Every structure is written in structure tokens, then in C-alpha cells.
Amino acid sequence: MVALLVQPSLFAQEPVVQFPSGNVHDPNIMMEAAELHTLRYGTYASNKSSQGMVEDSMIWWRLDTSLMYWKPVWKYVLEDHNQDNLPLSTYEFEWDGMSWTPTIFFARTYDTAQHMLTELRQVWNGSWENEGLRQLTWSGNYLTYDLYQVWSGGAWINDVQVTYTYDPNNNQLSRHFEAWDGMAWVNDQLRLMTYDGSSNLLTDMIQMWNGNYWENSDRMEYTYDARNNRTSYLQQRGTDTTWENNMLNSYTFSGDDLLTLEIRQYWINSAWENYSRETLTYDTNRNLKVKFRESWTGTLWQNQMNWEYFYDANNNDIHHLLKDWVGNQWENEYQVFSEYDSNSQLTEFRTERWRGGPWRSEDLYRYNYDAGNNWVMWLYRRYDTTGTTITHSDSIYHYFGVHSAVLPGPVSSPVISVAPNPTNGELLIVSPDLMINRIVVYDMGGSRVYQAPISRHRFELDLSGMRPGAYSLVMETGSGVFMKKIVVW
């Protein structure tokens, strides 16, 4: 049975937080969860090496800021895995103050190529009741059909279906959404893409069905240089008869493919009008050192923001400093500090606001890993405007084990690059070996904040509108689901 920890080690570094005996931190409560785990899945091997490790459970804690003690008020997740470490089933529980109450169950099946074929969702209402069913069809490693059904009146009823097509280079050409009206499938949304000879995305058009015909909604157009660097991004909005310009981003790259200039314009009164200009400089290790932003006043460029970046000897980003242009001088606004362990894994991420000075704490994130470099703990703190009083705090603890059916041995992982991380919101995701079919981003509260079916090996993700903090980036491929922790500052 997997050993469960009651007090993650990083909590001990916070002497203000108390752990009263006999309350919700009673080890018997945790033992109940462990026994439930064993009941559902059987025992786990005691050899918890880094080989063959899979996540089997997670506990979410919340700090009671009035009494200053932790209590398990969020979800308790249990997962089982097959021989390929793909999740077969997931049970979710919530703490009601006295015991763990089951809430949701997922059951999944896969084909011999590790593609997910079905996903059943059930909810707990005194017993498990069907709620949703997803069925997928694949051609090689490419998703071609995705059917969603809901349980109603003792039977599965169609809800949504999605059909995908590809060109000979396996670039996705179309994504057709249809909704069930009770009698037949009805058009809902159509997405059409085109590519150049290097498989760079050239156009991405979205149309919505208005009941009689396809109506233009959004259109994106891209251009590239000879080295496949994206040089422009044009966004247009649809009308009944044509496309109207909305926004244009233009990019300039250095000879060694580093972005050095970005200009944003908006279409106003039938002409492009400047909005912002960013100039970027780098050190000899290709690390971003300065990002300088100017805004357009209508007649000239004016200073707006300036970011400075600092790195350690391993090129880990350890400090960001943001200054705003106020009046005729630069004033401190925001800064981020990051710390890493000997494996260059992020262990602490904290933000501070100037607010007229001095610097005041705003957010704090801490991460801990086991000997196999599995991410086992996440701690979050939010402070008030004085930077001294905790207004909110959560913590997640992940538990890993080796299932008795899994033979210890090296587990091959695909190379999926997600950079830069931490990020100001702009991420480049590159997966040379596996096509990424879908991307989902969750905040640390478990809420889905972004999702996109992409079916690409390379994708530029923009999370610049997200609140600074930690997020989980989930990438669905034909060979399984992979998760990456990202930090947006």
C-alpha cells in the first residue's frame, strides 16, 4: 500500500501554520483514504524507485486563515494504470469534514497503439450513475472522429460529434463540430486550415452555422520567412459577406532566429494604427535579457514598460523585474524570484509588488520532488496588499507508486519541449515524435482555463491574459496524456 504523508515537508517551514492533533489531520483519516485506495486497486509494490513510477493519488489541502491550520477540503483523486502507464480509471472524492465522499468516476479503454478509444464518466448519487461517454476513432496516430454522448432516460443520447480531416503531410485541414437536435446531427462550427510546403500554418478560419448557411466568424493568417520564423499574424472578423481586419502582429528575427521586434497594430477607420512595439535583446546564451515596450500616442512612440531578466549559471530564469514609465521616469511595478534544485527543477516562485515602495509579497509558490524527480507537492500563498497577512493558501500533494502489474524498468517518455518556463504567457510547444491532438490548461484550483484541439507537432500558446501563477498544461496525444507544470508570471 502506498504510504501517505500527512504533513508535507515544506509545511514545516511555515511556523505560523498549526497542525492541531485530533482534528482533520488525524492520521486515521489518511489511513481511511489509503485503505479505500487499496480496496479499489489492490496493493502496490513496495519498490518505489523512479523506474515505472505512476501517479496514483492526489490530496488538495486548504489553509483555514482564521484558525491557521490545514484541512483537506478539496478533491482526493485515485488513478489506476495499465501496462503502458495509461490511466484506466479515476475516482474523485471530496472531504465533507468527516469522511471522503465519492463524486466522479472515469473508466477508459485503449487500442494496441495506446490510443484512447472510450472514456466513461459516472457521478455518485448514493450509487454510481452514468453521465457521459466519449468514443474516439483513429487513423494511424491521428484522431478522425470524436463522439460525445450523455445518459438520459436509461439510454445513451448523442450530444456532440467532431470530424477531423488531414492532408498527405498529416496537417489537420478541417474540424467539423455537429450537435444532436434529438432527431439528427446539425452543423455547429467548422474550422478550416491551410499550410505551406513546410507545413507552416497559413490560414485558420472559423465559421458558425446560423441555421441556413455557414457564417464567417474569425480568420487568422500567417506569414513566414525562409527559415520558417513567423513574420506576421493577421486576425480578421467575419461579416455576412466578407472579412474585416482587426489586428496585425509583425515580427522581426535576428540571423540566428531570435525574435528581436514585435509590432502590434489595430484596424481603425480603414487603416492600420500602431498600438505597441516591443524590442527584445538576449545574452550570449540566447536567454532573453530585456524586453522594452512602447505604446503609440497617435504621433510617436512613448515608453510604457521594461522587463529585465536574470539567470543562474545553468541558464535558469531566477529574477524578472518589471518597471512602468510614469511621467518622465521608470518606476518599479512587479518582480518575480525563482529558485531551483540541483536538477534545475523549480522549487520556489514568488512575486512582489512595489505599490509605492517598499516591495511587498503578493504570491508564493513552492514545489517539492521525490528521489525520482516526480513532482509531489505544490504550495500556494496569497498575501494582502501589505504583503504580511495570508489571505488564501492551498496545497496539493501527489503520491506515486509502482503497480504490482507493472514490471520495474525504464519508462520511455516522448520529447515534448515547452519553453520558456516560467513564461510571461507566450509558450512554444514542440513535439517532434508525437502529434499533439489537444491542449488543456488548468489552474491550481482544477478549473479549466484554456483548451484547444490542435493536431500539430508545433504550437504557439498564448496565456498572456492569465493571472500570474502555476498552471497544469495537459497534452493529449495518440500515445497517452502528458502533463507539464508551467508558471506564468
In a domain, 429, yes or no: yes
Q: Residue 296 in contact with residue 276, Cβ under 8 Å?
A: yes
Mean pLDDT of all residues in 199-213: 95
Summarised one tens digit per residue, pLDDT across range 234-243 is: 999 998 788 9
In a domain, 253, yes or no: no
Q: Tell me what pLDDT residue 100 has.
A: 76
What is the percent of the chain where pLDDT is above 90?
50
Q: Tell me what pLDDT residue 55 has.
A: 66
Summarised one tens digit per residue, pLDDT across range 305-343 is: 999 999 999 999 999 999 999 999 999 999 999 999 998
In a domain, 354, yes or no: no
User: How would residue 17 be classed by pLDDT, with cut points 50, 70 and 90?
Assistant: very low
More confident residue, 73 or 274: 274
Q: Is the pLDDT of residue 112 over 90?
A: no
More confident residue, 359 or 431: 359
Q: Is the pLDDT of residue 453 over 50?
A: yes
Q: Tell me what pLDDT residue 486 has.
A: 82
What three-state secondary structure class fits 42? Answer: coil
Q: Which domain holds residue 471?
A: 412-489
Q: Is the pLDDT of residue 29 over 80?
A: no
In a domain, 221, yes or no: no
Nearest to 142, CA basis, from 108, 176, 113: 113
Cell of 474: 495537459
CA dist., res. 336 & res. 333, Å (int): 11
Q: Tell me what pLDDT residue 73 has.
A: 67
How many domains in the chain? 1
CA dist., res. 297 & res. 276, Å (int): 10
CA dist., res. 369 & res. 378, Å (int): 9
Q: Tell me what pLDDT residue 16 has.
A: 32
Backbone φ and ψ for 8, nearest 5 degrees, come out as -55, 145
User: How would residue 400 be classed by pLDDT, with cut points 50, 70 and 90?
Assistant: low
In a domain, 367, yes or no: no
Alpha helices, H only, 19-121: 27-41
CATH number at 416 reads 2.60.40.1930
In a domain, 387, yes or no: no
What is the percent of the chain where pLDDT is above 70?
81
* C-alpha torsion sign, points 38, 41, 42, 45: negative
In a domain, 289, yes or no: no
User: How would residue 213 be classed by pLDDT, with cut points 50, 70 and 90?
Assistant: very high
Q: Tell me what pLDDT residue 56 has.
A: 67
More confident residue, 406 or 400: 400
Nearest to 444, CA basis, from 399, 483, 390, 389: 483
Q: Tell me what pLDDT residue 168 has.
A: 93
Q: Which of 80-84, 430-434, 451-455 has the lowest mean pLDDT?
A: 80-84
CA dist., res. 207 & res. 217, Å (int): 5
User: How would residue 371 be classed by pLDDT, with cut points 50, 70 and 90?
Assistant: confident
More confident residue, 65 or 150: 150
Nearest to 110, CA basis, from 82, 147, 148, 133: 82
Q: Tell me what pLDDT residue 264 has.
A: 97
User: What is the average pLDDT score of the chain?
Assistant: 81
In a domain, 376, yes or no: no
Mean pLDDT of all residues in 100-106: 85
Q: Is the pLDDT of residue 106 over 50?
A: yes
Query: Which among 68-82, 194-208, 375-389 has the top mean pLDDT?
Result: 194-208
